[in-house]
Amino acid sequence: MLGEAAQKVAQWVFGGTCFLCRGAAKKRLLCEACDADLPRLRQALCPRCALPSAGAEVCGQCLAHPPHFDAARAALAYRFPADVLLQAFKFRGELTLAGFFAALLVERLGAAPRADYLVPVPIAAARLRERGYNQALEIARQVARATGIRLAPGLCERVRDTPPQTDLPWSERAKNVRGAFRAPLALDGAAVAVLDDVMTTGATLGEIAATLKSAGAAHVSAWVVARTFPPAEDAR
């Protein structure tokens, strides 16, 4: 739980220094220069998969093979320094970054994002034990607070542990997560936003979207802090 009090603790812990360069940062985690360096996604993106697409039209890949989620929104490209911040958050327990990522995502979502429920991607039980927290849930708490959307982690459960997606080639990731989730409650036409820290192939978010839809969800959005671009796209 990271409310105003925790933000104050963060200011105290970081002592007014930038999380990245240790330069002066007034009231924020990053100094102005590092904040300006964040790879915010401002170019035209496909509304379905959040990869670059001319005129922000649905891209050819999504037309040919529509993902199970209906929309995707991402705040940042997954490259320096976003990758450094997300890795510190995920692997070094820098939980004060949750509010920072949530604010970037909320800024990206704009006015009145549409969803009845906000569901963080559940992590494997073994990883939860080892890490002590689910990074997606920590961000989702803050996004729920800022948007008023109901936080509903219970709508999606992980039914089996899978090897981490990052250990696998992209082509094997969809198979790795197939059947890994369960939606225990009827969703009766609800619009659900699924939140994760990083989207790479979209395999996990796609599998969860399919699971939620089979439980009756009418619309599923994928909301992520950062989007990995395929190598060719990353040069743009």
Minimum CB distance to Zn ion, residue 206 (Å): 12
Q: Note whether 205 binds Zn ion by CB under 5 A.
A: no
State how beta strands 71-77 and 219-227 pair: parallel
Backbone angles phi, psi at 131, to 5 degrees: -90, -30
The answer to whether 127 touches 92, Cβ cutoff 8 Å, is no
Minimum CB distance to Zn ion, residue 221 (Å): 14
Is the CB of 21 or the CB of 124 nearer to Zn ion?
21
Q: Note whether 34 binds Zn ion by CB under 5 A.
A: yes
Minimum CB distance to Zn ion, residue 58 (Å): 6
| Bridge partner residues of 198 (DSSP) | 226
Is the CB of 61 or the CB of 176 nearer to Zn ion?
61
Q: Note whether 139 binds Zn ion by CB under 5 A.
A: no
Residue 36: Cβ within 10 Å count: 9
Instruction: Give the three-class secondary structure for 5.
Output: helix
Q: Using CB under 5 A, which residues numbered 45 to 74 contact Zn ion? A: 46, 48-49, 59, 62
Quick one: which of 2, 10, 18, 143 contacts Zn ion (CB under 5 A)? 18
Per-residue buried b or exposed e for 124-147, using 16+ beta carbons within 10 Å of the residue's own CB: beeeeeeeeebbbbbbbbbbbbbb
Minimum CB distance to Zn ion, residue 49 (Å): 3
Quick one: which of 23, 154, 184, 230 contacts Zn ion (CB under 5 A)? 23
Quick one: which of 21, 88, 146, 174 contacts Zn ion (CB under 5 A)? 21
Q: What is the residue whose two structure tokens read 């979209």? A: 202
Angle subtended by helix axes 97-109 and 4-14, to nearest 10: 120
Residues contributing to the site for Zn ion (CB under 5 A)? 18, 20-21, 23, 31, 34, 46, 48-49, 59, 62
